[in-house]
Structure 1
Amino acid sequence: MIEKNFISDSIKREKAKDFIRKEMAKAGIVDVHIQRTTLNTRIIISAERPGIIIGRKGRGILELTQTIERDLGIQNPQIELVDIGNPDLEPNVIAMWIARMLERGYKAKKVMQRALYRIKKANAMGAEIIIRGTMHKGIKSRQERVVFGYLKKAGNDTKHVKEAKTQAKLKQGVLGITVRIVPPDVIFADKINIAEIIRKGEENKTEDKNGNNQEERTEKHGESRA
């Protein structure tokens, strides 16, 4: 019985996540996390434009909460919105933007270059954008790829690479979109500069020593005046 309830709750959570992503696509959903507690169900939504979710005078978020509870069977849902910071460092945001531009008829190469420029401007360490599928009618399926900077493809450091996948639905078929971004604050193991670390350590020691000497001089000066 417990196992059945667990599976049922998991299915409900996944349906709720899909529903929120589809219904609030214009808000630029980055992530949806659902956590069940003893009192309620916390739904934490990270979005590029949370104002769209909130709606005028809070009506949007109220209607969303009521729909999730009524139609999806989520008990006592409590929606929380999280600021994502710089949206150009979020692969979900970039991937969905690319999909929208392609569906409006913009050429894949130009869209990819514009997206890559946005990521560069956000000071990312590296990025990769891949589009697969039939770009034009009468042309075989192919892959377009743009990349810049430092990007790990194997090993434990790949956990630092943020990735998102989505699709653009065009008349000639579906295009698969993959976006990978390395945030600016990531430190990879093979990029650690030992000499730089030692130099900074010596500088910190010197600063601490100078600070201690200053304190000693201040104390002696106070004693002499006394």
Structure 2
Amino acid sequence: MGQKTHPYGFRLGFNRTWKSRWFSKENYKRYLHEDLAIKRAIEKKGRNAGISSIEIERQGEIVTVYIHTARPGVIIGRKGSEVNKLRDELSNMVEGQVNIEIKEIQNPETDAQLIAESVAQQLERRVSFRRAMKRAVETAMRFGALGVKVACSGRLGGVEMARTEWYKDGRLPLSTLRADIDYGTAEAMTQYGIIGVKAWVYKGEMLPEDLTRKITPEQEPVVVQPKGSPKRKKKR
């Protein structure tokens, strides 16, 4: 019987790239723990900012953190006050200069991670899991997704035996490499225990050369650098 593989790991090197981009033989362990600490700190501070993903890139002593969010204003704060506090906090975790680049998600209704978190929040507010899944799928399809699937696992409805239920609409070619499949997970803390939520979104086909479409001129990121540091040229 075939098993479901992770949509990102299955497509790494083809039309997906790594979320931590660096290589080190001697400092691998330290870099890995720093990356995990950075992600935990950002997720804790931006809990209400609609953060979809966090990418970390290292070039020498420069650590660049890319934050993909649906609400960049929450992270940036008034006149950049919040993002400066975040940069100072991250600078204490790593050795070297920390830069933060904030990228706004143009269509949060079709982002798998945000869909999963939205369903999880509704479950915590005691909304029916079937209603939450159906509403999320219908909204994503209305905003241009070609296929959506949302699954909930756990003691659904407070029953004694845990089970998995899902709702799906449209196409979802998980085994097609060129398919652009977005994937996200979340957890809902209910009075009956933890309910896991998974979301898959099919956005069309994407070949390796189409990776450049991820950042377009109208979606250029907001770059936050330490004071007095030289500005780096943006790669196009």
Range into which the TM-score falls when normalised by the shorter chain: 0.7 to 0.9
Aligned to 1:204: none
Q: SS of 1:3's equivalent?
A: coil
Q: Find the partner of 2:121 among 86, 92, 100.
A: 100
Structure richer in helix, relative to its length: 1
Note the C-alpha offset of 1:152: 1.2
How far apart are the structure 1 equivalents of 2:115 and 2:34? Answer: 28
Structure 2 unmatched runs, 5+:
1-23, 208-236
Structure richer in strand, relative to its length: 2
Note the C-alpha offset of 1:5: 1.5
Identity across aligned pairs (percent)? 24
Aligned to 1:7: 29
Question: Cα distance 1:127–1:9, how it changes in 2: closer, same or farther (>3 A)?
Answer: same
Aligned to 1:126: 147
Q: SS of 2:106's equivalent?
A: coil
Alignment pair present for 1:55 and 2:77 = yes
1:167-225 deviation digits (Å, cap 9, x = unpaired): 11111100111100001x4279xxxxxxxxxxxxxxxxxxxxxxxxxxxxxxxxxxxxx
How far apart are the structure 2 equivalents of 1:20 and 1:187? Answer: 29
- Higher RCO (CA-CA < 8 Å; seq separation 6+): 2
Question: Cα distance 1:41–1:187, how it changes in 2: closer, same or farther (>3 A)?
Answer: closer
1:54-103 deviation digits (Å, cap 9, x = unpaired): 11221110111111112x23532111101221111110111111111111
Aligned to 1:178: 198
Letter in 2 for 1:165: T
Q: Find the partner of 1:163 among 173, 183, 193.
A: 183
RMSD of aligned residue pairs (Cα, Å): 1.9
Aligned to 2:213: none
Letter in 2 for 1:69: S
Question: Cα distance 1:49–1:74, how it changes in 2: closer, same or farther (>3 A)?
Answer: farther
How far apart are the structure 1 equivalents of 2:70 and 2:121? Answer: 15
Q: TM-score, normalised by structure 1?
A: 0.75
Q: Find the partner of 1:145 among 143, 157, 166.
A: 166
Q: Find the partner of 2:104 among 83, 87, 101.
A: 83
Letter in 1 for 2:119: I
Q: Find the partner of 2:49 among 27, 37, 52.
A: 27
